[in-house]
A and B are shown apart, each in its own frame.
Chain A
């Protein structure tokens, strides 16, 4: 009798489960997996996606990988044609490889059919996250997370009258948000080794990380503003005199000087996480970091509540630029659930969803959100975010971006941190390395 009951229950469960499955299939309910980096904005996206689950009936799974192994893990997944990810929020540099190697679905037809216009997004994010080749209307992603390198500073320290007086006596100007990179260097030197409330503090936390992309994402903020160009604007892949121009050399020297005279001891391998820690723990007066950390700074009980201020990357002699971060969201070509994945993108592109994305701590690239008159005052850092997004430049997004990134990491770290050779030698070496890569690629 017991056996019969058990068997009946088991059969019942199987039938119920089959019915449920077929009901799901009828309603096209699907389990989607979205792959991204494991960081604060990813948690906001989980929260945001609950609305999508409610509206569509699809279930969202998330595969988040910490930044240091994000590229390794996800590019392995794409290169092996893996079906883990249906949606990928891949780094901006991957767009060339994603498009040329067939990892991402081309979205032009889908955008046209669903009235999604790239004109509705910030132009820099469209170029940076979605287009390949650059500056052509071929879209492989929808701008998902707008990000840029900017600066956070200890407003409460800057406002101290005794420091104001001392700074004025030393530099002949007010201790305030720096208007140029040289002023920033001076402020960093001013705070270096200073005793504030019984603690030794330092000037600035800057990007110096060696293993992934850290120092490149940092040093470019000085290079661009002093005249560095990736290539001759009139002749693609012509590097000589642009990568290693006199201005670029001066910019690299300034970054090294900033490292030598204005950063905490031992900060030779720092990237986003280390900079956040140093700033929040009151070690540094200023911090270079991507804008994604700003909501966290505001929420911090030590450095938030009006104790911090924000400013865009300061200008140099050749202009004012900042390193672009952020990512676009793409549909993975190997996914068997592309229809549902496209549904997610269609939902994500809606202005109301984009507004909620910003409200939850995400960073929208939709103009309707960021150009709203209330946006600039919606958060203490919102205006800085807008100003910074207007001056962005990005690293190579070529399919061979990794071949280009690794020598840059090596050359920059060798000069800035290890003090090996001169800035000119470092940039001349970079020209050689990059030329070899483009020759191998058949582009030279």
Chain B
């Protein structure tokens, strides 16, 4: 009788182990494998979350371990939600989010659409376009700080070359109106390639046969684009919006490097504000409440969005 490879492998399993496993149910074995992951999740995600919620109702400061910790109820939440500076910060974050996502999705999709065409040097262009997202945000921040320099910056030179103005007459990162745009431009330069890659994956997943059928029906290119390309790439576009939305909500290093949150508070995003409260002022209880509010906001918005995304995918 010839043994199958499976039987051969089974026969080589040590007897004692086989016996031990034989005594366990599939469910138990499954739990043995899954338990470390669950334990890690609880330790790294769930426990800190619960602890943060608990701290948010106290006046605890991590740099004053000897002070008594008082239960202050909803005081931290009330203070945050009635603080106009916090609302300004939220507004700055929303402005940054809306514009970066809009620009990145539009430009990213356009680039993906172009790259998706078969032409010579296609791969080389893809690599060149993707290059900015390989850099560290801190490096990008530094790099753009130089580009925006009124005296020596290439950005100012290019703008004034076309407008005929004096390069030193405007400062992208020193002007309250321009500083948010300085960050939006740098972030868009860095992360549009990421959106392009997602869109490219979406466009390449559309079978050629669908376009061939449309050609047979004599559908125009414009109609093919609106009735085939966009709907079929939409879940990918929405995925890109989700990823970039979550990422940009946490935006920190690029902004710190470029403007430090200024001029004034113009570019102080929630992540920067939260960091200042938690690790510069050391108001641990207050910043925990701040973090909980942000968590609920992001979680709520993301949940609604994911539901919409699933509906689009089901269509």
Chain A positions near chain B (C-beta within 8 angstroms)? 71-72, 75-76, 79, 97, 101-102, 193, 200, 209-212, 264-269, 283, 399-400, 402-403, 406, 410, 413-415, 417-420, 440
Contact = CB atoms under 8 A, between A and B. Distances in A.
A316 to B, nearest CB: 25
Contacts of B175: 268
B245 interface: no
B174 A402 contact: no
Nearest to B85: A410
Contacts of A410: 85, 264-265
For chain B, the bracket of interface size reads 20 to 34
Contact of A399 (B64, B153, B261, B263): B64
Contacts of A406: 276, 280-281
A413 B264 contact: yes
Nearest to A414: B264
Interface stretch (B143-151, B193-201, B214-222): B143-151
Contacts of A267: 174
A33 B283 CA distance: 29
A244 to B, nearest CB: 19
Interface string B84-115: 01000000000000000000000000000000
A414 B265 contact: yes
A212 B256 CA distance: 10
A265 B263 contact: no
Interface in B218-276: 256, 259-266, 276
B53 interface: no
A102 B66 contact: yes
A101 B282 contact: no
Given A211-B261, A413-B262, A413-B264, A418 B176 contact: yes
Nearest to B286: A440
8 contacts: A72-B279, A200-B168, A210-B260, A266-B168, A269-B263, A402-B282, A410-B265, A413-B265
B151 A264 contact: yes
Nearest to A263: B174
Contacts of B151: 200, 264-266, 283
A417 B280 CA distance: 22
A265 B282 contact: no
A415 to B, nearest CB: 8
B66 A269 contact: no
Given A79-B63, A101-B64, A267-B174, A418 B263 contact: yes
A82 to B, nearest CB: 13
A200 B174 CA distance: 20
Contacts of A403: 281, 283
Nearest to B145: A269
Contacts of B266: 418
Nearest to A404: B281
A265 B173 CA distance: 10
A400 B169 CA distance: 40
Contacts of A399: 63-64
Contact of B173 (A71, A269, A413): A269
A268 B171 contact: yes
A71 B308 CA distance: 44
Given A210-B263, A211-B256, A417-B262, A266 B171 contact: yes
Interface string B167-182: 0110101111000000
B62 interface: yes
A440 B151 CA distance: 46
Nearest to B171: A266
Nearest to A75: B63
B138 to A, nearest CB: 11
Contact of A210 (B168, B176, B259): B259
Interface string B130-165: 000000000000000000111101000000000000
Contacts of A415: 264
B190 to A, nearest CB: 20
A70 to B, nearest CB: 12
